[in-house]
Amino acid sequence: NRGKIPQIGFCTERDRNYVEATAFSVGRPNSWSVIESGIALFNPTTKEMLINESLSLEVRTAFETLRRERLPHILEKFPDLFEYPGNMINIALERKYGVNLPVEEYYKAARIKLSDLERQDLITIHPSRIAIDISPPGIDKASGIRFLAKTTGISPNQMLGIGDSKGDFPMLNLVGLVGCPSNALEECKELIQKKGGYISPHQYARGVADVLRYYLKEG
């Protein structure tokens, strides 16, 4: 709510351990965060976790099998990649430090190897700047926000979203209030402007804090 100290949570592609560690910087809030780009909600204070109800058992089983039986062969074939540790469901294959081969090259090969799972609509594969992300269809930060809204009773229209990259677009398009730090992608800034949001003149964490201050003052 404008003008009031908000409930602060994270909406991130990272895992629960990342959220728990980062929560110390904002006083370990007793509120839900969206983790793994919508896979689950996690409360760093109570340690409670709720799996997104739209994630089917079939898809969860497919990811368990993929991680156990097929991922080791992919990493053996592409030794320049490693799996980002900690995720329950989502799989992020990141380039090792010093590797300059474009992620798109690995992405094309991974799609060929996992084409059967894509055809069955059990996974989606997409490249980012430094990684290949393998995630369940229909699960993104927006689906995580919808799950958060259903769990807390807080409408997305009452939520403030702060983002800086394309992975944040589903969340930013859904919530009522938006902002970004100055280091955000130009496409992200355009989205913020289109929604009448606030673009901070500051970068990174300072920019995030500035967005929060702006909306608190607006109230």
**For each of the chain's 219 residues, which pLDDT tens digit applies?**
444 556 889 999 899 999 998 887 777 678 999 999 999 999 998 999 999 989 999 999 999 999 999 999 999 999 999 999 999 999 999 999 888 888 888 899 999 999 999 999 999 998 877 788 899 999 999 999 999 999 999 999 999 999 998 889 999 999 999 999 999 999 999 999 999 999 999 999 999 999 999 998 876
Distance CA 115, CA 125 (A): 10
Distance, in Å, from the CA atom of 169 to the CA atom of 37, rounded to the nearest integer, reads 12
pLDDT of residue 1: 45
Question: CB-based contacts of 47: which residues, under 8 Å, 6+ apart?
Answer: none
- Residue 120 CA to residue 127 CA, distance in Å, equals 20
Question: Quick one: which of 123, 139, 135, 78 has its CA closest to 105?
Answer: 78
pTM confidence score: 0.87
